[in-house]
Amino acid sequence: MYKLTPATEIHARIANLQAGLRAAHLGAAFLVQNADLFYFTGSIQQGILIVPAEGEPVYFVRRVFERAVEESPLSNVRRITSPKEVTAYFAAMNVTFAAIGFELDVLPVGTFLRFQQVFPGAKTEDVSPIVRGVRAAKSPHEAATLRENGKKLAALLSGARKRIRPGLTEMALQGMLQGEAIGGGHSTINRMRAFNQDPGLGCVISGPDAAVPSYADFPTAGRGLSPYVPAGQGERAIRQNEPVIIDLMWAQDGYLVDMARTYSVGPMRAKMEEAYGYAVAVLRAIEAGIRPGSVAGDLYAAGLAVAAATPYAENFMGPPGYNTKFIGHGIGIEVDEFPFVAKGSGTILAQGMVFALEPKFVFPGEGAVGLENTCLVTADGFETLTPLDENVLRCDG
């Protein structure tokens, strides 16, 4: 039997969501997205979760009701065959909602228009900022899961040194690492909220191909395999004296951690070695400000100031002209949660927030270097959830 979310967790999350609904003068939240269902019900069985600002939430399940009852600690889980039964349920109870919040950041328009008819008289608003705000601060239960995942990912990336050798293709190395990860419990599904951003299983990229930009809003995208998958690893063979970036996530028990390290068989060019040192310096500058009450945008500015003072400022967080405007992103059930350590972000850090910091320098035609750690905001600072040597990891080849 797999792990279930404790009832105390689910009830606390519902209470936090209801407080947010009341503050926003919303009568209820209408949730159907898988990640949100998992967070607030403990299940991803197909259905609709209605969370009123006051009173008991109801999880209406179309498929599969029996599994939802088994997985969710909510007391009111009801079988339905059509969304019309949701309307009938509340009508029978003489309950109406003046305003309802939908996940407008992820719902397709057609789906939203269909679900909007469940409560045709209600004003519809976007509940996503409230939902994502509630999810941003992780509980001790969530932190423990993330911590365990981080240890597993660090062990995987540490062991990668023994596998890397000249002539091995990026795809072959990725396959080895993912096979090992799956054997260790990786669920193989990395969820991302942003539209048309496909995280895949992470990437193994090397040499000049690591510096090829793509559609994905990542500092190091990679060439990929084809126009259908134009990012990540490809069939390029690893060579001596060039940087290899392994940037992977570990997904288990519903939660993700993110981590990257730079490897090389033999010394890299002096320019790459120097740039890697600057990436570590950026990380240290951001870490110095991590504590409850800090502003995410200020952390970004501190890191950017270090990068801007280097000879490689135009190569920071992407090839020139394709530089991203963030250095870190929240992570948990999805890859792109709050907070974002990004330009102008006004998010105030709170204990329990988790984010991945990924300072990188990218040189077109040459390669990319950098690292990434997942961090947990603690009462007086932070904890690194992905503990591993932060030097360039040398490989015997």
pLDDT tens for the chain, residues 1 to 397: 688 999 999 999 999 999 999 999 999 999 999 999 999 999 999 999 999 999 999 999 999 999 999 999 999 999 999 999 999 999 999 999 999 999 999 999 999 999 999 999 999 999 999 999 999 999 999 999 999 999 999 999 999 999 999 999 999 999 999 999 999 999 999 999 999 888 788 899 999 999 999 998 889 999 999 999 889 999 999 999 999 999 999 999 999 999 999 999 999 999 999 999 999 999 999 999 999 999 999 999 999 999 999 999 999 999 999 999 999 999 999 999 999 999 999 999 999 999 999 999 999 999 999 999 999 999 999 999 999 999 999 998 7
pTM over 0.75: yes
CA distance 109 to 103: 11
Looking at domain 7-135, which CATH architecture does it have? 3-Layer(aba) Sandwich (3.40)
What's the confidence (pLDDT) of residue 297?
Answer: 98
CA distance 352 to 142: 9
Amino acid code (one letter) for 211: A
What's the confidence (pLDDT) of residue 1?
Answer: 63
Contacts of residue 286, defined as CB under 8 A and 6 or more positions apart, other chains included, come to 299, 300, 302, 303, 327, 328, 341, 357, 359
What's the confidence (pLDDT) of residue 281?
Answer: 98
What's the confidence (pLDDT) of residue 244?
Answer: 98
CA distance 17 to 339: 17
E-strand spans in the chain? 28-31, 46-52, 58-63, 77-79, 99-102, 123-126, 202-206, 244-252, 255-265, 326-330, 337-342, 354-357, 360-363, 367-370, 373-377, 382-384, 393-395
The region, left, alpha or beta by phi > 0 then psi within -120 to 50, assigned to residue 354 is beta
CA distance 66 to 47: 12
Q: How many CB atoms lie within 10 A of CB 3?
A: 10
Fold of the 137-395 domain: Creatine Amidinohydrolase (3.90.230)
Contacts of residue 346, defined as CB under 8 A and 6 or more positions apart, other chains included, come to 295, 296, 297
Q: How many CB atoms lie within 10 A of CB 176?
A: 16
DSSP label at residue 25: T
> CA distances (Å), 213 to each of 14, 323, 395, in order?
41, 9, 26
Contacts of residue 175, defined as CB under 8 A and 6 or more positions apart, other chains included, come to none
Residue given tokens 């967790």 in the structure block? 9
Domain boundaries, the chain: 7-135, 137-395
> CA distances (Å), 8 to each of 45, 69, 225, in order?
20, 16, 45
Quick check: do 7-135 and 137-395 share a fold? Answer: no
| Closest C-alpha to 106, from 73, 72, 132 | 132
E-strand spans in 127-280? 202-206, 244-252, 255-265
